[in-house]
A and B are shown apart, each in its own frame.
Chain A
Amino acid sequence: MEISLGGQGASSHASHIDEEGKVRVGMLFYVVVDIMFALFLVSAYVFLRGVNVNNLWFPDGTQNIDLTQTTFLTGLMVASGLCFVLAHWAVRQGIGGLVKLGITLAAILWIVTLILNVQYMGHLPFTQSGGGFASMYVLFTAYHIYHLLLGLMFVIGITIRALQGRYTRERHMGITTIGYYWYWVVVFGIVGYLLPIILPGPMH
């Protein structure tokens, strides 16, 4: 391998990716790892429903989940994502006030969703031992709550920074990269909402 020191353009990188790009690539890969996790959960759901061992996927007498509640919770999550989209748009336009508003609203909605989800999990019409569907559903909910809890760190950090006015039109990598995570959690919320509608617990 031939090298030259101090030669042409020693300051430029072959990869042409700077400090910001590094964080972006890293966050993207993190989200990919998380997506794989979700993919296996969904596969397990479909699998257990498909084989329906001993007809115990959804044992007789099990009560189904309450769709109005899940619709409401998913709606909150989507609203949080939309506020974030707004803030992301505003920061690219350089509208400082809207960034603060958007991020703060998104963060509040996130935290409210977290609290309501914990409460929801405590009041499901079945327990985790109530057959295949019940086990899967509780695991989905727990995974969503884990997402929201882990994200709390990002949410608090980004809100403080936004309120300090540290995100500008030129420098807002934090919003972009945390956005990846934010949107993915919203998407997972929607997947977890739709799955029991498309492939419901009761099989008939």
Chain B
Amino acid sequence: MSWTRKLVPSYFSGAVLAAIGFIVGSQYVWRVIGGANWDFNDPGLIGNFLEQGFLAGFVLMTFGWLIGIGAFKYPLSWMLGLKDPDHNEELRLAGKGDGIIRYFRFTTDHKVVGIQYLVVTMIMLAFGGLGAMLIRTELMFPGAWAFPKETYNTIVTMHGMLMILTVISFFVGPFGNFVIPIMIGARDMAFPRLNALSIAFLIIAMAVYAFIPFMGIGDPITTGAGVQTGWTVYGTLADQTGIGVDALAMAVILAGISSQMGAVNLITTVIAMRAPGMSYTRMPMTVWGSIGASILAALGTASLTVDLVMIISDRVFRTSFFFAATAGDYAGSGYVGGGSAWLTQNLFWFFGHPEVYLLVLPAFGFVMDMASVFSRKPLFGYKTAILGLMGVVVLSFLVWMHHEFVSGFLPELRGFYMASTELISVPTGLIFLVLLGTMWRGRIWMTVTMGFVFAFTWSFLIGGITGIYLSDVPADVQLHGGMFVTAHFHYTIVGGALMGFLGAVYYWFPKMTGRMMDEKIGWISFWGIQIGFNGTFLAMFYVGLQGMPRRVADYSPLFAGGNLVASISAFVLGASVILYFYNVIYSWKAGPIAEANPWGAKTLEWTTPTPVPLENFGEIPVVTSGPYNYAEPATPSGVPARGVEAGPAIG
């Protein structure tokens, strides 16, 4: 194959067309349309040609990227009624016979997409982590000593939203794509092209996101570069902040499209592509958890998209969804008003609360699977676990107003939302029951993965219980807007979702890369992460109870002690995560070669050879029993099962 055929189409040609698209779009607005009317003294709060140009640039940039990577080829040929591609062409698109270049292309093989997701999410995690370190640097001492306050606010916003996007992509991205089709005995995802498209959307979303800190520098009207709203981008604040918020809104809309596509694809795959005998009650919990998350993504994300579309349109087209002023107030600005601040809060949190469970549901599933593998016991209460997961899915749509207890919106409903929020701890409790019941009296094999399972159990417990504090209205009136809330959701997201993810990387690494991760570095980074994490956020609970507000660069010396502890611990956490990353990179290159089933697990993905061939199975397997039968004699190429048949184990 010649070089041009290898590089066109690929991510490289996509990047070139994306750059051209951005330049054409923005320059067209700035020079051609805006040229004559350029007016920095616009009396409006916002909404000048500067940001319209950026927006046009982002839209064309996205189209350029999609054209450049060849995403339109199939839809166009379908539209024109041309011949459908045959199996050989499909295989070529899946990367058959291509070397490393298939990772830099629009490739349909779900395993390639899984690896692409793994790398992209890891990079996102690294940048988000960098933001966290900058935040903790600023908060190490009282006084805004490290950054100007506007810069600090921008860092907080960018860190928050980037991490949320990262964790949303963590599970359905790398593992949902790589592992789940093999787990249910399928040859690929239901819609391989949609799959390749979803990672492409995530990449371009991140490219747009990278514009945020650079937009609006030197613009005298807006309040400097960046976005100062916090990750919740309440429309009322977004209407007044720097123009970076346009990039943020665009990026999150694109990432939302990406996760909706991933969700639809995953749900369809599980409904339609299971191998013979793989009934719903034989699916591993990983699949169930990811399905729960996909349902939340499919149903909830639209609410955020509507919110963001309204934000952009308020700023750029001067609509008044969130703009409440009376006509006289902004005479001449083009605004009339009539919008509501509560609208943005409700739209955001109707997405926002299901979203926090979207972050953690797959982790529930993963952790239950891993607990069963390393306790060498069947899952304790399979149906109970499904009930727990689905209970969370349903309830999480009924609690969003616990984020608005002090907003003044319908105070009569606070009692209801308090009760419904506390109700969620019931299905969550079921999951804990299953998890503990599975480990109980098992013969625990203490791998690093299992370490992360324990860490999950510990920190999610704290996260959940502090959530109950917050759902209590009188307590929340005190704690809302403070560091206690920040500590709560870091215990659930870092302590829950991230621990599950780090454990899962360690667990599936042999299947994904063909090599084992290093056990010793693994344990060192594990303990560093635990000490750093708990130190940071326990200290944050403490300053939160003392009354320290969140999202401020400067604070009273009263809170100095707790913040110093939190910052030092955070640096330990950061260093340990770097060590974890080093382990991933080092082991990927030089780790010991893995066998097909190093953990002796029972699920389908471990029955395939490593590396997993294109199309996964030579012949589609017929499944004849559940995923956790450790009493069975042996799995193909697996180590013999331990634990259950060995009689009651002690310890």
A residues in contact (CB < 8 Å) with B = 1-10, 12-15, 17, 21-22, 25-26, 29-30, 32-33, 36-37, 39-41, 44, 47-48, 51-54, 56-57, 59, 128-136, 138-139, 153, 156-157, 160-161, 164, 166
Contact = CB atoms under 8 A, between A and B. Distances in A.
Q: Which 4 residue pairs are nearest across A and B when measured between Cβ atoms?
A: A56-B338, A132-B338, A135-B319, A160-B81
Interface of B is mostly: loop
Contact of B339 (A39, A132, A166): A132
Interface stretch (B201-209, B466-474, B588-596, B625-633): B625-633
Interface in B527-563: none
Contact of B318 (A10, A128, A132): A128
Contact of B602 (A1, A5, A8, A9): A1
Given A26-B190, A160-B80, A54 B338 contact: yes
Nearest to B314: A135
Nearest to B304: A40
A153 B624 contact: no
Contacts of A8: 276, 622
Contacts of A153: 75, 79
B624 A53 contact: no
Contacts of B336: 56, 59, 129-131, 134
Given A13-B274, A14-B279, A40-B350, A5 B338 contact: no
A3 B622 contact: yes
Contacts of B309: 139
A138 B319 contact: yes
Interface in B585-625: 602-604, 607, 619-625
A5 B346 CA distance: 52
Contacts of B334: 129
Given A25-B268, A44-B310, 18 more contacts: A1-B635, A3-B277, A9-B276, A13-B274, A14-B275, A21-B272, A22-B272, A25-B272, A33-B264, A53-B337, A53-B338, A128-B313, A135-B320, A139-B319, A153-B75, A153-B79, A157-B78, A166-B81
A51 B39 CA distance: 35
B616 to A, nearest CB: 13
Interface of B: 75, 78-81, 190-191, 194, 260, 264-265, 267-268, 271-279, 282, 298-303, 305-306, 309-310, 313, 317-321, 324-327, 334-340, 342-343, 346-347, 350, 602-604, 607, 619-629, 632, 635-636
A26 B268 contact: yes
A14 B277 contact: yes
26 contacts: A1-B635, A2-B625, A3-B636, A7-B624, A14-B279, A15-B271, A15-B273, A17-B272, A17-B273, A25-B267, A25-B271, A25-B272, A26-B264, A26-B265, A33-B264, A40-B302, A44-B310, A44-B347, A47-B343, A53-B324, A129-B317, A129-B320, A139-B309, A139-B313, A153-B79, A160-B79
Nearest to A36: B302
Nearest to B279: A14
A139 B322 CA distance: 14
B524 to A, nearest CB: 34
A4 B276 CA distance: 10
Given A47-B340, A59-B338, A132-B339, A37 B81 contact: no
* Most chain A CB neighbours (cut-off 10 Å) among B267, B268, B623: B268
Interface of A is mostly: helix
Contact of A9 (B327, B335, B622): B622
Contacts of B622: 3-5, 7-10
A53 B306 contact: no
* Most chain A CB neighbours (cut-off 10 Å) among B265, B273, B627: B273
Given A48-B343, A56-B327, A131 B338 contact: yes
B320 A5 contact: no
A84 B174 CA distance: 40
A135 B80 CA distance: 37
Contacts of B299: 32-33, 36
Contact of B298 (A1, A29, A130): A29
A78 B347 CA distance: 31
B339 A129 contact: no
A26 B324 contact: no
A14 B274 contact: yes
Contact of A3 (B265, B319, B607): B607
Contact of A14 (B78, B278, B347, B626): B278
Given A33-B264, A153-B75, A54 B324 contact: yes
B306 A37 contact: yes
Contact of A4 (B343, B603, B624, B632): B624
A2 B636 CA distance: 9
Contacts of B265: 26
Contact of B621 (A5, A30, A157): A5
Contacts of B300: 36
Given A1-B604, A59-B336, A157-B78, A6 B619 contact: yes
Given A29-B298, A40-B350, A5 B619 contact: yes
Given A29-B268, A56-B337, A160-B81, A40 B306 contact: yes
Given A26-B268, A48-B321, A157-B78, A135 B338 contact: yes
